[in-house]
Amino acid sequence: MRLILILGDQLCQSVAALRQADPATDLIVMAEVLAEGTYVPHHPQKIVLILSAMRHFAHDLRAAGWRVAYTRLDDPDNTHSIPGELLRHAAATGATEIIATTPGEWRLIRALQETPLRVTLLPDDRFLCSDAEFAAWAKDRKQLRMEFFYRDMRRKTGLMMEGDKPAGGQWNFDHDNRKAAKPDLLRPRPPRFAPDAVTQEVAALVKARFPGHFGKAEPFGWAVTRHDALLALDHFATHALPRFGDEQDAMLTDDPTLSHALISPYLNIGLLAPLEICQRVEAEWKAGRVPINAAEGFIRQIIGWREFMRGIYMLEGEGYTSRNVLGHNRPLPALYWGKPTRMNCLSHAVGQTRDMAYAHHIQRLMVTGNFALLAGVDPAEVHEWYLSVYIDAFEWVEAPNTIGMSQWADGGVVGSKPYVSSGAYIDRMSDYCKSCTYAVKEKSGAKACPFNLLYWHFLNRHRDRFAANPRMAQMYRTWDKMDETHRTTVLAAAEAFLTRLDAGDPV
Ligand code: FAD
Ligand code: SF4
């Protein structure tokens, strides 16, 4: 007999380990363990999602004829670690061999490799680009750029291709995207799914077992089965996709989700597959129901960015999460854990994260990420925050986005320049500034938007590294043209702000 390990983000009937298994002889092991729920303080909704989806998946496996050894969180024999549960079941059954699909985190890969049992780790082929393919693509390239990787993925999948040419004659229609958005009461809201008895039981358990974690388990409206995840995809493709491109970068106070898909948690735990999502989106475009910029922009996120991030994580190896090329060492400010702040954009992005375990890409990148980078926060602490608070956060995707794209702590592996902006960008793309205590148009006075001060502080302190970067030269020219007294005032105001931040004073 062999033990077949299925982790909480591998809930897919065709996952590699299941394809190798024999229902007549093998035993499937699934385990809810404290170690996985607490190595960072995950948002309660994320824990509810995973445990409830695991219980539903185990039920489906049993119904399909599999034998499943399922450990519940409150099981008295629970050893509370994945290797511990494998050893316990191995001892009980006499099994000596484990088959698993490679986990999406180096921490767990190493833990499995170190168990005294014979463990076979199969490649996770739910991704469209294998680790070997990515390594071959990356080899001998001076720089890894998503855009070129993405073109190869379009060719490989055939998505939105006309022969060997991209549909519409261009690979990328981003110049049609990135518009600001206006409140619209008719904009469709993402569907919510009423918790069934299983989810309710799990939510009660999570509330009792993880009381100090940031955020609340309820109200909980996420899908926990493939059936409901498909409904969520269908709702997105039918109602929100047509405006996805236009509204992709916009932020509105009263509309936290705009035309985003909210499918990353389902995709990341295996309830949906990347290709089926893209094919659905392509079909909407082919049927003339969505514009090309929306369909192309969406498909790029999945077969481009998502696969690229996975490739980088596996290629860069274990040390990636401790990279800190810019030498930033400020502790994560308490406002990230809900301490009130006068900065309206941060207050909204963090409040929404606490309530929903969700913020869309631009909120993560240009509000919370931008502020942490400008303020010089230790990237390891930023990484731990993102890994904790988002419902879709798994290290293989969260770390390259945080350490790489958002904090530039990897020195440019993911992005050729840091994503930094002053308040002007947030003002252009959102309605946050209108009701902020700070004034986004003020550059240095007492009410000046902190992003305006910190932006120049960041560029000034990293001048040696970035001044020669052609994509940043214009920023330095603007700074250099400013009056010397003004520059001194801005830097002093930024320092004063950082001192208040460090002291825990209201900011
Ligand atoms: P949509 O905007 O509707 O996009 C559709 C899909 O494209 C997403 O579901 C996602 O699967 C994929 N996608 C889009 N952008 C990215 C990207 N940059 N990387 C990978 N996939 C992408 N995404 C995660 O899945 N897990 C994370 O832990 C995560 N952490 C992030 C941390 C930071 C600092 C940043 C800047 C981004 C992070 N992202 C992460 C990427 C992105 O923000 C989310 O995938 C997206 O917000 C999920 O919401 P959605 O389904 O509504 O996405
Ligand atoms: Fe954020 Fe500055 Fe706008 Fe306030 S003024 S919401 S701090 S960008």
CATH number of the domain bearing residue 493: 1.10.579.10
Asked if the structure places residue 114 within a domain, the reply is yes
Domain contains 197: no
Are residues 177 and 232 both part of a single domain? yes
Q: According to the model, what pLDDT value does residue 445 have?
A: 87
Ligand 2 pocket mutation pick from 368, 422, 428, 432 by most atoms within 8 angstroms of CB: 432
- What confidence tens digit (pLDDT) does each residue in 250-288 have? 999 999 999 999 999 999 999 999 999 999 999 999 999
Asked if residue 253 and residue 138 are part of one domain, the reply reads yes
For position 192, what pLDDT does the model report?
A: 98
199 occurs within a structural domain: no
Q: Which of 397, 407, 414, 419 is the pocket-test mutation for ligand 1 (most atoms within 8 Å of CB)?
A: 397
CA 379 to the chain's CA centroid: 15
Q: How many domains does the chain have?
A: 3
Same-domain pairing of 236 and 300: yes
How much distance in Å is there from the Cα of 31 to the middle of ligand 1?
27
Residue 455 lies in a domain: yes
Q: Quick check: 325 pLDDT over 80?
A: yes
Q: 70-97 burial string, b = 16+ CB within 10 Å, else e?
A: bbbbeeeebbbbbbbbbbbbbeeeebee
> What are 297-309's pLDDT values in tens digits?
999 999 999 999 9
Do 363 and 343 lie in one domain? The reply is: yes
Report which residue type is found at 496: A
**Predicted local distance difference test score (pLDDT) of residue 175:** 83
Between the CA of 381 and the centroid of ligand 1 the distance, in Å, is 19
Nearest to 233 by CA among 197, 265, 187: 265
| pLDDT on residue 178 | 79
Coil vs helix vs strand at 94: coil
pLDDT beyond 80 at 176: no
- Residue 260 Cβ inside 6 Å of ligand 1? The answer reads yes
CATH of the domain at 257: 1.25.40.80
29 falls in which pLDDT band (50, 70, 90)? very high
Question: Do 55 and 172 share a domain, yes or no?
Answer: no
ipTM exceeding 0.95? Answer: yes
Distance from the alpha carbon of residue 65 to the mean position of ligand 1, in angstroms = 35
Q: Are residues 146 and 115 in the same domain?
A: no
The answer to the question of residue 27 being in a domain is: yes
Same domain, yes or no, for 338 and 279?
Answer: no
Residues 108 and 155 in one domain: no
In which band, very low, low, confident or very high, does the pLDDT at 186 lie, cut at 50, 70 and 90? confident
Out of 257, 279, 314, a domain closes at 314
Taking CB atoms and a 6 Å cutoff, what residues make up the pocket around ligand 2?
Answer: 343-345, 423, 426-427, 432-433, 436, 438, 440, 449-451
Dump pLDDT digits (tens) for 399-433.
999 999 999 999 999 999 999 999 999 999 999 99
CATH number for 48:
3.40.50.620
**Could you tell me the distance, in angstroms and rounded to a whole number, from the CA of residue 446 to the centre of ligand 1?**
36
Spatial contact of 226 and 242, defined as CB atoms under 8 Å apart: no
Average of pLDDT values for 52-61?
A: 98
Query: What pLDDT does 170 receive?
Result: 96
**Mean pLDDT in the chain?**
97
Ligand 1 centre distance from Cα of residue 106 (Å)? 20
Residues 282 and 161 in one domain: yes
Whether pLDDT at 157 is above 90: yes
| Residue 212 included in any domain | no
Q: What is the pLDDT of residues 328-350, one digit of tens each?
A: 999 999 999 999 999 999 999 99
Paired sense of beta strands 161-162 and 118-122, if any: unpaired
* Predicted local distance difference test score (pLDDT) of residue 185: 87
Residue 215 falls inside a structural domain: no
- Cα 432 to middle of ligand 2, angstroms: 7
Domain boundary among 71, 100, 122: 122
Task: Tell me, yes or no, whether 399 and 297 share the same domain.
Answer: no
Percent of the chain with pLDDT over 90: 97
Q: What pTM value is reported for the model? A: 0.98
What's the longest Cα–Cα distance across the chain? 79
Which residue has the least CA distance to atom 41 on ligand 1? 361
User: Which residue's C-alpha comes closest to atom 36 of ligand 1?
Assistant: 365
Q: Residue 439 Cα, ligand 2 centroid: separation in angstroms?
A: 7
Q: Do 235 and 355 lie in a common domain?
A: no
Residues of the domain holding 179: 131-192+222-314
Query: What's the per-residue H, E or C state across 371-394?
Result: HHHHHCECHHHHHHHHHHHCCCCC
CB neighbours (10 Å) of residue 465? 15
- Our CA dihedral for 123, 360, 336, 345, rounded to 10 degrees, sits at 160
Among residues 122, 157, 182, the one where a domain terminates is 122
Instruction: For residues 90-111, give the mean pLDDT.
Output: 97
Select from 366, 370, 451 the residue to mutate for testing ligand 2; criterion: most ligand atoms less than 8 Å from CB.
451
Sheet holding 97-101, edge to edge: 68-71, 27-31, 2-5, 97-101, 118-122
Does 483 map to a domain? yes
How far, in Å, CA of 106 to CA of 309, rounded? Answer: 15
* Mean pLDDT calculated for residue range 136-142: 95
Q: What average pLDDT does the segment 79-90 reach?
A: 97
Residues 345 and 427 in one domain: yes
Encoding tokens for residue 241?
Answer: 């996709």
